[in-house]
């Protein structure tokens, strides 16, 4: 929490919402995340965004995913997912 500003998002549940882009690859996501972090001061009406130094992640991609844990939701989320989405999640989780 607090890494990316929430400006323009719908204020549903700020303690649960995680904002971010969609992309075709992890490399694209990492590049977008790096670009979205910036030296800008937090927006005054955005209490969830702390002013912190950027933490680039693109340079961490070479380390791979070994040792990372992936959380997978069950129940309604699994029942409503498309087979292609389930296959992609199951391949990495």
Summarize pLDDT for 8-54 with one digit per residue, the tens: 677 776 666 677 788 999 999 999 998 887 655 555 556 556 666 77
- 29 exposure class (CB count in 10 Å sphere: 0-12, 13-18, 19+): middle
The alpha carbon dihedral of 72, 74, 78, 83 has a sign of positive
Total domains, the chain: 1
In this prediction, residue 53 carries a pLDDT of 73
First to last CA, the chain: 23
As a whole number, mean pLDDT of residues 65-75 equals: 85
Per the domain annotation, does 40 fall within a domain? yes
Q: Which domain holds residue 61?
A: 26-92
Per the domain annotation, does 7 fall within a domain? no
In this prediction, residue 44 carries a pLDDT of 58
Per the domain annotation, does 52 fall within a domain? yes
Per the domain annotation, does 83 fall within a domain? yes
Per the domain annotation, does 18 fall within a domain? no
Per the domain annotation, does 42 fall within a domain? yes
Per the domain annotation, does 67 fall within a domain? yes
Per the domain annotation, does 5 fall within a domain? no
Verdict on whether the full-model pTM lies above 0.75: no
């Amino acid at each position: 929490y607090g890494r990316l500003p929430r400006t323009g998002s719908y204020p549903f549940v700020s303690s649960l919402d995680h904002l971010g882009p969609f992309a075709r690859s992890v490399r694209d996501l990492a590049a977008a995340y790096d670009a979205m972090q910036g030296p800008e001061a937090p927006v005054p009406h955005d209490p969830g965004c702390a002013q912190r130094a950027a933490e680039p992640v693109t340079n961490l991609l070479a380390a791979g995913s070994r040792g990372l844990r992936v959380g997978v939701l069950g129940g309604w989320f699994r029942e409503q997912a498309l087979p292609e989405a389930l296959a992609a999640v199951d391949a990495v989780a």
